[in-house]
Homo-oligomer: A and B are copies of this chain.
Amino acid sequence: MAHGRDHRTPNGMTEKCGVVGVSLADRDAARPLYYSLYALQHRGQESAGIVTHDGFQQHSHVEMGLVGDVFGADDLDQLNGPAGIGHVRYPTAGGVNTCCAQPFSVSFKSGSLGLAHNGNLVNAAEIRSELEALGHAFTSNGDTEVIAHDLARNLLEEDLVRAVKRTMSRIHGSYALTIMHDDAVLGVRDPEGNRPLCIGKLDDGYVLASESAAIDTLDGELVRDVAPGELIVLEPDGSGFDSYQLIDRDDTAHCFFEHVYFSRPDSVIDDGLVYEVRRDLGRELWTESGIETDVVMPVPDSGRSFASGYAEAANDGDADVEFAEGLMKNRYVGRTFIMPTQDERERAVRLKLNPIRSTVEGKTVTIIDDSIVRGTTSTQLVDLIRDAGAEEVHVRIGAPPIVAPCYMGIDMASRDELIAADKSIDDIKEVIGADSLSYLSIDAIADVLGRAKGDLCLGCVTGEYPYDIEGEQTDRDVTRPVVGGESAPADD
């Protein structure tokens, strides 16, 4: 496993992850952390880890693999203590990367620190250089170790809240963090609110999680989202939490893709139930580009909510369209699949998605998906559906064309792989062989999410980013965070 200093390029930075933190009255935190990581498994399948603290010492178990494979009953039994944090990590392009499995742990003068991070810093290299100049040495190339060192250094001189604030004023980019300082569990969300983080209440404690579905899994209640720039400190006895609004910004940069693609439909992200958002986006999609059709079919599973909204809106109007689950998905196609030879290429799609002939034969078909990245799957799908006897195949996409890469933590693809980076919608239509193709507008996204475009991160669909990224344009005047007033702790 090679690593060098110059690997910290934008392409290598991206990481999709899930984080969680738990503080309970009496019970060990390990099992609640385990179940909540299970609920967030869709956010990362490369590695999983839990770090707990029993008031005396830290316990840690971090390994490559799925949550169910990483943790055995013995492992959970050894993770003592009522406080802990957890992490699942997304497989990044270019192979397995043991060095970056999280949570990341260090011990230092003032105790131990554990960090679980979802997001991506844009100035990690800069801060790392500053720390190196002070003598710090790093074991990995990850942003998380940079944050850990910076925070540890600040903790030498400041109390916990001030130290976190100082670190937040230095780091720039997207981050939802759960942190354990000795047995104290904290949650922090970046000032732009780019990555999601929410607070949940259990019978005997509190939980922080990337998505509210993790709270549901623990039979808990969603309290609210963590605010952009806010620090949450869970009470060690599980009795409540303190809030510190450490940084205030005028505008936010919520990632709209969390709603469109990444999060679970049953999660509430920034006050919006993802399922409803997608259904509403589907309705807008009909309004903007609805076309007469016999049957509307989702590309499972991600297109399902969009398609049902689209069909509903159609039937609410004059149209009479059938909603049909006409594409059968094979749940077992996984990472250990042997790639077919050139000749067998078509089979690969049919292994994953097989059209049900009777649903498309002799019909005008509209298929609904959440996005087109490289265009390969769409091309094959349109082909398959036509082969199965469809008269016409129309494609509708519940998001705008992706024209630029994501630097904030979603591993989409590099610019030259993105079909929409240099092709018009008409050209893409030709490539995928559809009879018509429409995307949803950016305005519709903003409308449905109920936010100004200036409060969203739209980098991947506009090419203008809310952060200062080398070689890219920004849509903001000032991209450095402004340090806000510190609010008094407010018990829940």
Contact = CB atoms under 8 A, between A and B. Distances in A.
A71 B356 contact: no
15 contacts: A3-B57, A4-B57, A6-B57, A7-B57, A38-B337, A45-B332, A106-B139, A107-B138, A108-B132, A108-B136, A135-B136, A135-B156, A266-B357, A273-B358, A323-B323
Interface in A296-354: 301, 304-305, 308, 323-325, 328, 330-338, 340-341, 344, 346-347, 350-351, 354
Interface residues of A, number: 95
Contacts of A39: 330, 351, 354
A119 interface: no
A216 interface: yes
A338 B2 contact: no
Contacts of A350: 216-217, 219
A275 B358 contact: yes
Given A72-B338, A332-B68, A58 B107 contact: no
A31 interface: yes
Contacts of A132: 108-109
A76 B1 CA distance: 10
Contacts of A340: 31, 35
A335 B68 CA distance: 8
Interface string A53-78: 00011111100001111011100101
Interface string A10-42: 000000000000000000000100110011011
Interface of A: 1-7, 31, 34-35, 38-39, 41-42, 45, 56-61, 66-69, 71-73, 76, 78, 80, 104-109, 112-113, 129, 132-139, 141, 148-149, 152-153, 156, 213, 216-219, 264-266, 273, 275-276, 301, 304-305, 308, 323-325, 328, 330-338, 340-341, 344, 346-347, 350-351, 354-359
Given A4-B57, A42-B332, A266-B328, A68 B109 contact: no
Given A39-B354, A68-B336, A301-B331, 8 more contacts: A31-B340, A66-B332, A104-B139, A107-B137, A107-B138, A137-B148, A218-B347, A305-B325
Contacts of A68: 332-338
Contacts of A73: 338
Contacts of A69: 336
Contacts of A341: 31
B332 A2 contact: no
Contacts of A3: 57-60
A328 to B, nearest CB: 4
A57 B129 CA distance: 17
A342 to B, nearest CB: 12
A107 B5 contact: yes
A356 B107 contact: no
A180 to B, nearest CB: 14
A59 B4 CA distance: 8
B275 A2 contact: no
Nearest to A305: B325
A136 B155 CA distance: 11
A129 B106 contact: no
A57 B2 contact: yes
Contacts of A359: 275
Contacts of A113: 137
Given A67-B332, A265-B328, A336-B68, A273 B4 contact: no
